[in-house]
Amino acid sequence: MVLLEIRDLYVDFRTVDGLAKVIEDVSFDVKEGESLALVGESGCGKTTIIKAILKILPDYAIVKGSIRFRGIDLLKLKEEEFYKIKGKEFSYIPQEPLTALSPLYTIADHFIDLFVSSGRRKIGWFEYGSLRKKMASEILEKAAEYLRIVKIPDPDRVLNSYTIQLSGGMLQRCLIAMAIAKNPSLILADEPTTALDVITQKEILGLMRDLKERLRTTLIYITHNLGVAREIAERIIVMYAGRIVEIASSEDVLLNPLHPYTRGLIESIPKLTGGELKGIEGGVINYYDPPKGCRFHPRCPFAKEPCRKEAPKLVKVDHEHLVACHIIGERT
């Protein structure tokens, strides 16, 4: 069953330098209960898609497309209706816990704010104070329970701590606890392990994978690291410069990459056996004046004339393996 359906999404940003065409013709489905990774270089539009789902982009930015959750187009909902769905169904795990959590409040305060304001677009001070007084003890009991679930050994101490008193890994566990405490249908995770050391990163990835299976929730995970994507996701969407270039199972993407950009990403991964890293020549495109045709063609060693003229469409090449490339089958 499809939980989330994105169709023909286009996102533009107006800046002092002009109009940046950041997302172009993005369409994909997310099945209920699956884990999906959005993979690509920094600046390819992964986080912009998450922001579009959460409706935290400027009103003008989404110029075309639909985002349907359980068949309801989120982009057409009034703000009050959307916040009710968002508060009940969605959870977001940001990239940097130190910027996501206020240093002025304890972890307990953050849990209380989460539950008191959840599902509301705005809340007055009087209503907030009244609800906080009424719900605080119940919330903190639940918070301690979820901190134990994410393997924090001393939840009472952590709840009474400020962010400066906790490590990055501990704070990330707190954010994950906050995300699952609402029992959401969909968790959106924006590179939540990027700022952590490799040991802590592995622990957090293992924790998220276990919790996803335990809670049977749906996960969209953003990363630039294909190794991380393989660890956490059943299916991978590879993005380049605001467009989807390949969609397949994690195994197919890693073992049978079809798009030249996906191949380049894999060849850029350091190997334990050593050897020369090939990498991908060139840099990210200019979104104010993107290249015509395939946006990857200026960096593609296989590019031909059709690649420079017409943007390729995603086509199915094998079961659920889709790729957007004019020259599939022609490369040597």
At the top level of CATH, the class of 2-104+162-323 is alpha beta
**For the segment 15-58, what is each residue's pLDDT rounded down to a tens digit?**
898 999 999 999 999 999 999 999 998 889 999 999 999 999 98
Classify residue 283 as exposed, middle or buried by CB count within 10 Å of its CB (0-12, 13-18, 19+).
Answer: exposed
Give me the chain's average pLDDT, please.
90
pLDDT given at position 332: 40
Can you read off the two tokens belonging to residue 94?
């940001």
DSSP letters for 127-171 = HHHHHHHHHHHHHHHHHHHHHHHTT-S-HHHHHT-BGGGS-HHHH
Q: What is the pTM (predicted TM-score) of this model? A: 0.91
**For the segment 158-199, what is each residue's pLDDT rounded down to a tens digit?**
999 999 999 988 999 999 999 999 889 999 999 888 777 788
Q: Are 4 and 68 in contact (CB under 8 A)?
A: yes
For residues 149 and 172, give the distance between their C-alpha atoms in angstroms, rounded to a whole number. 13
Higher-confidence position of 254 and 129: 254
Domain residue limits, the chain: 2-104+162-323, 105-161
For residues 169 and 172, give the distance between their C-alpha atoms in angstroms, rounded to a whole number. 5
**For the segment 20-32, what is each residue's pLDDT rounded down to a tens digit?**
999 999 999 999 9
Q: pLDDT band at 219, cuts 50/70/90?
A: very high
